[in-house]
Amino acid sequence: MSELSQKVALVTGGARDIGRAVSVRLAEMGAAVVVNYRSTAEDANETLRQIAAKNGQAIAVQGDVLVAADIAKMVQTATEKFGGKIDILVNVAGGLIARKTILEMDEAHWDAVMDLNLKSVFLVTKAVLPHMPDGGAIVNFSSQAGRDGGGPGASAYAAAKAGVANYSRALAKELAPRRIRVNTVSPGMIATKFHDTFTKPEVRQRVAGMTPLGREGTAEEVANLAAFLASSQSSFINGESVEINGGIFFA
C-alpha cells in the first residue's frame, strides 16, 4: 500500500511550479489530491494530466484563497468528492507581487502582500480544520526571505513569510492535542516562474554560484520535502521550519 493511500490532500496554488510538483508527488504517494488554482485553468489541467499519467487521482478546483466564499466552495467540493475529509493541507499559494522599496511602497501594496502570503494561510486553514481528522498534517510555505530579509524590494514579502513560519509554530502547539502536525517549508533559490519574473538572470547566476551545491534547486526537490512532512515518515516533526536552499543559508 502506498504511503498516503486513503488520504485526501488539498494543495493551494497547486497548478504550477512548486504547487504542481507537490500535487504530483502527493498523488504518486497515493493521496487523492485537490488542486486549487485561482485563474490558470490551463496550468491546473496540465497538473491533472501529469497526475493521471502516473495513475493518480485528482481534481482541480478554482478559487481565490482570499475570498471566503471561494474557500468554502473549495473545501465543500473536496469533501463531497473524497469522502468528507481532508487529511493533508499544503498552503503553497503566495507571491511577491512586485519588488518595492519602503519609499516606493504604499499601504495597499503592503496589505496585498501580507494578505496573499499570510492571511491566506489563516483563512484556508480555518476552513479546512473542521474537516481534518485527528492525526492530519499541515505544511505551510515560507521562504528563505523570511529568515534573511530577502533581496532588494522584498521587505513586505520577507515579513509575510516570517509570519507564516511563526504562525505555523503557534498552530503546531494549538493543534497538538489533536495530533495535527504543522510544519513549514522554507525554499531558497528554486528554478520556478517566480524567479523568472522577479529575479534578474545575473542575480540568479550569482546566487547559484554562491550556493555550496553550486546550483538552483528544483520544484521536485521541494515537493519531496513537503510530501515527507505531510506523511507519517515525519511523525515526530512538529512546528519545524525546514530550509531547502543548497546550503547557502543555515538557520
Q: Is residue 104 part of a domain?
A: yes
E strand map for the chain: 8-12, 32-37, 57-62, 88-91, 137-141, 181-187, 241-244
Counting the structural domains of the chain, the total is 1
pLDDT tens readout for residues 123-167: 999 999 999 999 999 999 999 999 999 999 999 999 999 999 999
Extract the C-alpha cell encoding 13: 496554488
Report yes or no: 61 and 74 within 8 Å, Cβ to Cβ: yes
Q: Is residue 34 part of a domain?
A: yes
Give the global pTM.
0.95
pLDDT digits (tens, 9 = 90+) for 55-106: 999 999 999 999 999 999 999 999 999 999 999 999 999 999 999 999 999 9
Task: Let me know if residue 249 belongs to a domain.
Answer: no
Q: Is residue 247 part of a domain?
A: no
For residue 122, what are the domain limits? 8-240
Asked whether residue 251 is assigned to any structural domain, the reply reads: no
Residue 2 counted as domain residue: no
Task: List 9's β-bridge partners, or say none.
Answer: 33, 88
Lowest-confidence pick of 17-26, 50-59, 195-204: 195-204
Q: What's at 220, amino acid-wise? A: E
Assigned domain for 248 exists:
no
What residues act catalytically? 157
User: Going edge to edge, which strands form the sheet with 241-244?
Assistant: 57-62, 32-37, 8-12, 88-91, 137-141, 181-187, 241-244
Cell digits of residue 238:
512538529
Query: Is residue 245 in some structural domain?
Result: no
Element (H, E) at 126: helix 120-128
pLDDT of residue 196: 78
The C-alpha atoms of residue 229 and residue 142 are separated, in whole angstroms, by: 14
Q: Which residues on neighbouring strands pair with residue 136, listed in sequence order? A: none
CATH of the domain at 233: 3.40.50.720
